[in-house]
Structure formats: C-alpha cells, structure tokens
Structure 1
C-alpha cells in the first residue's frame, strides 16, 4: 500500500535515522498532503481487511491487527501535529485548516465501523476464555470501552450526526488555538521607556529589547505573554502601571471583538460537546469524559474540588491580609496614600514577603539556574540518580527546529532506550505553554523505541548571554521531563499502552513526582551554581528555598481550582442549558461565584477565551486531573523523602509506575508502589490545607 506515496517522499518508509527519528532535513511542507492522503488510504484498507475478515474474530486477527494498522498515517501525523504546535508557519496553518476536519472524519470512520466493532465485541465477550495475557485482556477491555464511548453502537443516523459534530469540533479547536496565538502576539506589551522595566534583571531587559527588534520595533521593549493569566515578570516590576498593563493585556485575550475573539468559539464548542454527549447517552460532556477516567464520576470530581476550595480560599484571604499590610506600610513610609492591592500587585508583594520572611530573592537566584547546567547537572543527573540513565549529545541529528537539542538515552546497562529532544525557546509561531510529545513510542509489537520531545517557551536571551531560568521555568522543565521519562522508560507490548497513553487524570502523576528533584538536596547542590563564578548556591539559601515552597499556596491552589471549576461548569451543561448561555464573561463569573472562588485579587489561572487546555488541548472536563494526580504524587513524594536508598526506590517507581504505561489500571499501579491506596492527607499537608 505504501506504493500510493512516491518513494522520494520522506514519509514513504520508516526513517533510517537512529530510533526512526524523522528526517527533518528532508521534510518539506509539500510532503505532508500526499503523505496524509496515502496514510488515509492505507489505513482504510487495513481496517477494511480486519473488519471484512471472514475468519472467526480472534485476538490476533482483530485486536493485534488493529494495533499494527495505520503506521504510515501515524508517521506523518506525529510530525505534522508537532509542527502545528511548535513551528506553525502560515503554510502549516493552511494545511491544518484543510486537514483537521478530515483527520477527525477519518478516525470517526474507524471508531464507527459497525463490522469492526462487532469483531472487537466478539473478542471482548470471550476474553476470559482465550488464554490472553493480562495486558492483552486489558487491551481488549479498553478498546471495547473506547469504541463504545466513541459511538460504535449508534445507529446509522446517530453515526452520521456524530461524524458531523466531530468535524465541527475539530475545526473549532483549530480556530480557538489560532485565535489565541494571534491575539497573544498582538497583545504583547510594548514599552518605550526602559525606566518602566526597573526591577528586571539586565538579561530580561535585553530579552525584551531583542523581542522588540525581532518584531520590527528597534529601540523599544516587548513583553510577550505566557499562556496563563499572570506573568513571571510581575514579581519583579516596580512600575505599577506596567504591571497593570501586562495583567490586563493577558486577561483581555479573546474578548476584544474582531477576528481573534474566542467568545463565540467557546460557546459553539460547549454546545456541540453537550450535543455529542447526549447523542452518546450521557447527561453532559463532563459525564462522558468521567466515564473513561480514574475519578469515575462527575460527583467524585466535584467533591474533590469542593473539599479543597474552602481551605484554599481561606489561606488566600490570609495571604491577602499579609500583602495588604505590606502595601500599607510601604506607602505610608513613602508619604503616599495606601492603595488596595490588585491582582497585578499580588506577585510583586508576595515576592517581597518571600524575601522578608524566607530571605529568598527569586531574581537573585536566577544566576544559579543557567539552563544548560540545569539540564545536564540537574534534570539528567536526577534521572541517573534514580534510574541509572545517561544522556549523550547527538549533534549529528536534527530536530524539528534548528534550536532543538538532541540526546541519545542509555539505560544503566548501556542499552539504548531512545532519543530525547528539547525545544526550549519561545517563538511567535509556537503556541504558548509547555508540553511533551513523541515521534515514536516504545512497543514490542512493532519493535520500536521512544523518540520523545519537550517543548517550553523560555524567552530567548540576547546573543552571547546565558539563559537564566526563573523558578517557574525551572519547575516546568523538571515537570515536562517527568513526562519524557514516562515515555522513555515505558516497556509495553502494544502501542495503545505506550508511555503517557494512560487515563488523562493519571498522566500528570509521574511528571509531578519528578518536580521534587528540583529542590532535593543532592540534586540541587549538583546544578545550582552561579553561572559566572561557579559558586554553589549557599546551603542556607537552598534550605530557605525548600521552606519557601509552602509559601503562597493559598493563591496558587485557588487560581488552579478556579480554572478547574470553570472547566467543569462549562462541561456539565446539558444541550438545553448550553444553548441558553450567551455571555461568556458572565457565565464565568457566575460559575466562580457559586464555587466561592470569585476573588478579584486571585483570578482564575485561565479564563475561558484563553483556556487552551480545554478548548484546544484535549483537556476538556479534565483540567481537574492535575490535582487528582497530585494526590498520588504527594503520597509518592513522601515515600521518596523517607527512603534510605533512593536508587532502589527509583527502580521500584520505574517498575510499578513508569514501565507499565497504560497497560494496567492506575489504581493497581499506585497501590503496588505505595503498598496501599493513596491518601489525600499528604496533598493537604503539602499545600497547607490541613489546618
């Protein structure tokens, strides 16, 4: 079937490069369309052969055959989707607009194939009599559930409606992300007077100057916006009007009217998702998503969010009192009238409290967090400490962007595990946020190893200057690398279960655990050195740094919970209720007020019109998953903190949590590592919510 694609197309056959790294030096925009078309055709033919097989349905001729299918399409789409998010040129965007609904339609046709589902169902019904391995039986059960939730048992009229809804939703997701990216770029704050940047490190000022020059504004300074509501520089900027400009620019994304307004896109997405859920027999989209989750039900999710919201708000209000007292004290000392602290002031005064009470100055710490040293002597060092992994630079290989760094990853016994790629710097054509994805994922069925990449959005420093990470960027790097480890260390038979192919409210667990190594004494001492002098971060500073992690948890928990509640509020709507909502801003305020989380000084981490996780990132009705996973994370971190042998505990975590990927039920994996079900108490202690 690969004869459908010209032999000189780089997607026509598996890459000859190590671990099947895509041959990016050969791939051109014009290669995608014919490769996707050929991938569609080949995959359709493979599925038709499975569905039309006249032999009795078996695991081998149905389930395993389905797992082997779609290789060409997977090969091209893995690269295509990587570029739509990390290097979205106008040509790539045009292809995304053309193919996004068609890709959705292609997979719909497979999920809704009655003959294919009938064969899956026959294997499912006799699964306990077939002598299957535990992984094989679980694969049968997962596929049956996923096909059923995708609409495989609908009648033909229902399937036709579902296909139309899915194509519309795919187009809306694309539109939302594109509008957000354009509006985020348009709303970058331009500063004329450098004195307004007082408080920033010189490297940050130069970064803003370089960003302005790149945007055709030489002599000015450009403050680009991150994906979330706040901005890391709000903690340092002394100029209050500029803090307000940055904050208000961030909050206004997608609600200004014009071509990049996302309000109607949000309303349309919510209505179509509710209609789809009802068509599939569920009350709401949230109920549909919960049916395939670790949480199990909307009621369980709501209960968890309610349990945490009350103490989080209480702590945030206490923190606000402390911050307001500092504002009043400073204003009176300067002979000025005190002002009421606003949302754009919180980070600035919280940073001063951190310095005063913990003697931690995050800006002063940045020279100790030079990116390359953090990567090699921190992130990689921790992976070696825990799992015996080593990382060798592969400068002979090329990633999806010239700035990508590529490393070959070796196990403790010298076995090659795969490739790790890091794409660190922000670009206007890269979507905001940070993430992990794969080009190849380990599985024994096809004999493949893992090629994984992390994408971040760290501002690029001026030429010749070091990349000094903020505390948030440092944490993000460790977090995303935790996802990468999940991909690299997975060892499964079937592609369906590889790496992070787990239930969505479980996927953040391993990456959250990996954050702990950022401040672990052994790891921190190995990477936190001044980039100019080589002096280590003073011991007392790192003790204070660890102590300060508990500070401001009321704010951080409340802003996260507000976003989670907002996500659930949108997606608990029935089709009738969704049709009645016409005002996005008012709905958001009402939902947060009802949950007790409408705090003017603690805004939601993401407002609806720039909430890419749920309207363009696959996390709809699932943003709660971070806190759900953190229950497992906090309990696991306490195990590591009390372990006498870190390496032995790391190996146990690897065998119990990372290697199985999605091949076993999450609760079983957690129970195996902890020796019991996870308690919520470690999470409450960590976030200061237990008092």
Structure 2
C-alpha cells in the first residue's frame, strides 16, 4: 500500500520495534515536506528556548535543546543513509537541494546570540551538575563557539555563505564521484581476459554486464580505494593496467563528473572559514577539537612511521621485481598480483583459494556474531518480519545475555550502482535514556552480489571489513548514556575508529576463525597449517599498506594546511608535489585515495582527519596486547571493555575512557611491531 505525502510517516514516532523507521511506508515524495516541517518545528522549539523569560537552567536550555528537532532527526537519519546506500537521480536532486538548507538551519541555531548567552551563563555556574550533564553543557558551549557564535555580525554573514556553499559542493563531490565510478567500470569482451578470476567472480561480472544491457560481455566495477581487488587474481597484464588506470583517473576525466575543481574550491572555502576563527588553516581548526589537538602532533606521529614504511615498501618492490625478472618493470597494476604470488610461495597462502572458506552468511553468524556472543553474551535473531530500506538489507534483533532487547542491527552487504563505495556504519535511532530510545544501527559494505542461488564468497580483506564495521555497530549498540548528543559513536573523530579496529582482532582469533572458516561445499575446516600461515603472512605487504595509507593521510593534511587565499590551479600537480615533499611519492604505490576520489575528506567527515585510522590504531594495537595478556576472548574481558569504554559514548573524555580501560596512557610500540616498523 502506498502512502500519500499528506500521510507522512516521518510526522510521528514509529510504532515498530525499537522505533525502526517504517520503511515500507516511506516514499521519496515524503522527504521534502518532512525536512521542511522538521526544520520549521525545530526553529519554533529553539525560539521558545531563546525567548524563555525565566533565567537559564540546564533543564530549560540544554535539555530543551536536546529534545528539539526530533522530526528532523528522524527524516535526516533515513534520508542520508539512502543517499549513500541506494540513491537515484531524484534522491540526489533532493540531497543537492536540502543540504545547503540544513547547513543554513544549523547556522541559524548556532549563531543565535540569545541561545549562546544562555549556554554561556550556564557554563559559569554549572558546579552542581553531574559529570555527564556537565560534559553535555561543555559540548554545547564548544559547538556554539566553533560554529561562530562569538564572531562579529559581518563575519557570521560570511560564515553562513561559506557553510551553505560547502554543503552544496560536498554533495556535488559525492554525486559526481558515484556517477564517474559507475561510468568508469571496465567492460571486457572476451572471457579469456578474465583468466585468474574464480568462476563465481566471472559469473558475477557477466551478470553485472547483463544488468547494464551488455549481454555477452563482462563488467568489472570499481571499489572506492585506488587498489582494486581483482588485480590480485587477473593474469592479463593489459587488463590489469586498464582497471588500474580507470581507478586512479576517477573524477579526473575532464567530463561532467570531474571533481578536481570542486575539491580545490572546498579546500579554499575551508581555509577561509578557519581564518574567520583566527586559525592559520583548516587542519588547525579541526584538530583543536580532536584528541591529537594540533597538526604538529599528527606530523610527529606520522614522522615516526613514514621512513620505515617507505623503506619496507622499497624492499617489497625489490622482492617483487625479483619474481618478475627482466620481463618488465614493476608498475602499480602489477603489485597486488605479484605480492599475492610472493605470499603464496612464502606462506603457501592463495587468496583465491581461501574464498570458498569465507561464505558471507557463515562469516556473519559463526564469525562476527559468534565473537560478540563469546565476548559480550549477545545473541542475534533475524527479523524477516521487519522491512529495511532495500531488499538486500537484513534486520537482526540483538539481545543481551539476560534476554533483554539491546537494539536492532541491519546488515546491507552487497554493492550496487546506487550505493557509494567503501564501507560504513550509520545510526537510524540513537540510544538515549532521556528519549527512552534503544539503538538501531546499520552496516553497509560493497561485496559483489553473486547470481541467484550462488553463495557470496568473500576475500579475507572483506572478512576483516565485516568485523571492522561491526565494531562500529557494537559501539552504537552498547551505548548507555542519557543524552542523544553523547550517544554511541559520538566521540572525537580520531577516536571513533578505535573500537572498530579492535574488533578486527577476532577475525583471526583461533577459536573464532575455526568456527567460521569452513568450506561452503564440503564442510571442511580451513586447515590449521593454513590458518597459521595466514597469520604469519599478515606482516608481508605492510610496507605497501602503510605507505599507501600514509600517502593519503599526508595528502589530506596538505590540502587542509593551505592558508587562506592560496590558489590551487592544478589539483593533481598539487597532489604530486605534496607527495614528493612528504617523501611518499612512490610510482608503484599510489595513495589509497587520490584527490579526485578522496570521498573521506571532500564529501565525508574526515577533512584533516584521515590520520584518525592510524592514530586510533595506536590505541587498537595496545588494546589487543591487553586482551592477549588477560586471556583473550572471555566474558570478563568483554564486560570490562563494554563497561569502561564502549558504553560511554561521548559522555566522558575519550582518552580518559581509554585510561579507564587500559589503566594507563597508550604506547606506540605494539603498533610499530604489528606493522613491521621496528627496524
């Protein structure tokens, strides 16, 4: 049954379990009116707070702000997930229209001097608040200041214009990149060129071609990073080169989807905005509100990693050239293929031969869910009676050990043309005792969907990604805070990857791995010798992996350490110069993301923050050592991690939460050892 726009499902709180959005009733026509009404309602609520004749109190100001805008939150959570996971032309049109309006809406609230005066007065007399309430008040005050509440009227007017333009540009970058990624898919005419790919991968390529009206051909779609998984297996060097060049030229093809000017304009506007706040550049402005605090601290940490990583990459390149011999010179499109050969020869590990042991549903239930059951006492029941936003998205109810409902987990694992690249976690409903809500979270991945009736077989990297993203989901599900602003993953950006990275350790934990790594046809477990070789092989390739990551991180910082007024005429030349100056310009090791498809920083939330992954990995590697020292996969360990850190959200200083868990500050040595950077 279709619901007319007049019967807008966003207007009321969902009556479904855990307030799951009523996806079966939601149509595209509902979004615009829901956004308009949601913004209007919140502005009326905020006006009532600002004009309240009573003196400011925590309840009538901060709590009232927390309770405002619930309709807007409901529609935004659903819409922006769809814009990332299942967009069409109309969704993209709405996104382009509504994003600048939302930016202006946020500015209207945060630049209201009456609201700021009330929050400012409260901060001066908040000694009687409990710790979480004071944390929330401090967060509000900082948000107002960083949003421009203390600027002059003329500065605020310019800030509004910058924010509105940036919102539109960031949306444009995302939509252009999605379009060019789809358009850049590589069409193959002859199946013989696909030698090396597994039979199911060839079948999937044929099915993708058929869906695009290219019957009899094969289509290799692109994933977001520079490195494409199929390059590991393909033996046809010319095809490998075609795929690699298609990947690294996305957004820079000179067509209507070109993102280069958009990226340069975004960086320039961010620098101008930082200058309004008295900062020399955008990176300084951003890092002021991160655990790192300053760009200098980030560069100091990266400086401890870069020389050893590049040296390792050069050593790996020499080893690969030995394997190739004099036939040709190692190039970027050869690296994955010959690196896999070295891994196979040295460790007897064949990535393609591992895939039959990593069937998606088995990895999910007997790996990801199993580890969560052993560690935290969770159980999972698939709710086929509950409808998600796409037929591929599956809904699971999550229960605590005592049988109480914890929340809902939605898994949307397959790639499609309407989904952006990469993998991520979103929240439809945030946990909050103030609102009486329990969490509803979603994980999105981009695994190639097999033909009907065929199993979905994963690479080990995709297995690792499933565990990683579920770490984000656990961070959201375990939230136990009062206020929605502090819920779940609402922690500082360079801390948010830490819990998800920790969860990756269980993918290779022996008792977990042996539980899910079973051949999908024969039921044969992955041999223990292969398991050990897989673990041993993880150090191989760390030079490449660390260098490609650091190159992207340093490129991000280069763009966001530009001063106001700096003009970048040629973004790709700027990129090349930045990589040379940072000492990471290796022709055979392109950055994980180049400027023209660096979605994390130009359309995501990671501007001047892509370093967060390795910054968080310092905490992660140290935490893995703690688990190993304390008995590994035990309920006692899981409960300690959940209680001291995962449940706290943003209600406590992030590094204090780590200290509460670990008993001390983090140490970098476990990370250096893990990545082979101790020499």
Give the TM-score of the pair, scaled to structure 1. 0.97
Q: Aligned runs of 1:672-687 on 2, under 5 Å?
A: 672-687=660-675
Aligned match of 1:196? 193
- For residues 145 and 98 of structure 1, the distance between their equivalents in structure 2, rounded to whole angstroms, comes to 29
Q: Aligned runs of 1:390-409 on 2, under 5 Å?
A: 390-409=379-398
Aligned match of 2:595? 608
Q: 2:427 aligns with which of 438, 463, 481?
A: 438
Aligned match of 1:468? 457
| Aligned CA-pair RMSD | 1.0
Aligned match of 1:636? 623
Matched, 1:263 2:260: yes
Displacement, 1:576?
2.3
- For residues 628 and 111 of structure 1, the distance between their equivalents in structure 2, rounded to whole angstroms, comes to 30
Aligned match of 1:178? 175
- For residues 642 and 542 of structure 1, the distance between their equivalents in structure 2, rounded to whole angstroms, comes to 22
Superposed CA deviations along residues 479-501 of structure 1, whole A, max 9, x for unmatched, are 00000000000100100111100
Matched, 1:598 2:585: yes
Q: 1:663 aligns with which of 635, 651, 656?
A: 651
Superposed CA deviations along residues 466-512 of structure 1, whole A, max 9, x for unmatched, are 00001111111110000000000010010011110000000000000
Displacement, 1:545?
0.8
SS across alignment from 2:565 = helix
- For residues 142 and 37 of structure 1, the distance between their equivalents in structure 2, rounded to whole angstroms, comes to 27
Aligned match of 1:245? 242
Displacement, 1:644?
2.3
Aligned match of 1:278? 275
- For residues 462 and 115 of structure 1, the distance between their equivalents in structure 2, rounded to whole angstroms, comes to 59
Q: Aligned runs of 1:277-676 on 2, under 5 Å?
A: 277-328=274-325, 337-577=326-566, 579=567, 581-644=568-631, 646-676=634-664
**CA distance 1:314–1:6, change in 2 (3 Å):** closer
Displacement, 1:7?
6.9
- For residues 570 and 42 of structure 2, the distance between their equivalents in structure 1, rounded to whole angstroms, comes to 42
| Contact 1:6–1:12 (CA under 8 A) maintained in structure 2 | no
- For residues 188 and 39 of structure 2, the distance between their equivalents in structure 1, rounded to whole angstroms, comes to 49
- For residues 29 and 248 of structure 1, the distance between their equivalents in structure 2, rounded to whole angstroms, comes to 36
- For residues 255 and 393 of structure 2, the distance between their equivalents in structure 1, rounded to whole angstroms, comes to 35
- For residues 125 and 281 of structure 2, the distance between their equivalents in structure 1, rounded to whole angstroms, comes to 32
SS across alignment from 1:11 = helix
Displacement, 1:568?
0.3
SS across alignment from 1:455 = strand
- For residues 215 and 472 of structure 1, the distance between their equivalents in structure 2, rounded to whole angstroms, comes to 27
Displacement, 1:6?
7.7
Matched, 1:159 2:156: yes
| Contact 2:46–2:68 (CA under 8 A) maintained in structure 1 | yes
| Contact 1:378–1:523 (CA under 8 A) maintained in structure 2 | yes
Q: 1:216 aligns with which of 204, 210, 213?
A: 213
Give the TM-score of the pair, scaled to structure 2. 0.99
SS across alignment from 2:397 = strand
Q: Which runs of 5 or more structure 1 residues have no equivalent in the other structure?
A: 329-336
Superposed CA deviations along residues 559-610 of structure 1, whole A, max 9, x for unmatched, are 0000000000000011122x2x211111101111111000001110000000
SS across alignment from 2:8 = coil
| Contact 2:5–2:29 (CA under 8 A) maintained in structure 1 | no
Aligned match of 1:40? 39
Aligned match of 1:332? none
| Contact 1:306–1:595 (CA under 8 A) maintained in structure 2 | no
- For residues 10 and 141 of structure 1, the distance between their equivalents in structure 2, rounded to whole angstroms, comes to 35
Q: Aligned runs of 1:69-108 on 2, under 5 Å?
A: 69-108=68-107
**CA distance 1:72–1:248, change in 2 (3 Å):** same
- For residues 612 and 7 of structure 2, the distance between their equivalents in structure 1, rounded to whole angstroms, comes to 43
Superposed CA deviations along residues 243-287 of structure 1, whole A, max 9, x for unmatched, are 000000001111111201111101110110000110121111101
- For residues 9 and 564 of structure 1, the distance between their equivalents in structure 2, rounded to whole angstroms, comes to 43
- For residues 657 and 44 of structure 1, the distance between their equivalents in structure 2, rounded to whole angstroms, comes to 35
- For residues 52 and 301 of structure 1, the distance between their equivalents in structure 2, rounded to whole angstroms, comes to 43
| Contact 1:11–1:72 (CA under 8 A) maintained in structure 2 | yes
SS across alignment from 1:22 = coil
Superposed CA deviations along residues 24-63 of structure 1, whole A, max 9, x for unmatched, are 1101111111111110110001111111111111111111
| Contact 2:351–2:460 (CA under 8 A) maintained in structure 1 | yes
Q: Which runs of 5 or more structure 2 residues have no equivalent in the other structure?
A: none
Superposed CA deviations along residues 668-691 of structure 1, whole A, max 9, x for unmatched, are 111111111000000000000012
Higher mean C-alpha displacement, 337-346 vs 675-684:
337-346
- For residues 551 and 398 of structure 1, the distance between their equivalents in structure 2, rounded to whole angstroms, comes to 43
Corresponding residue pairs, total: 675
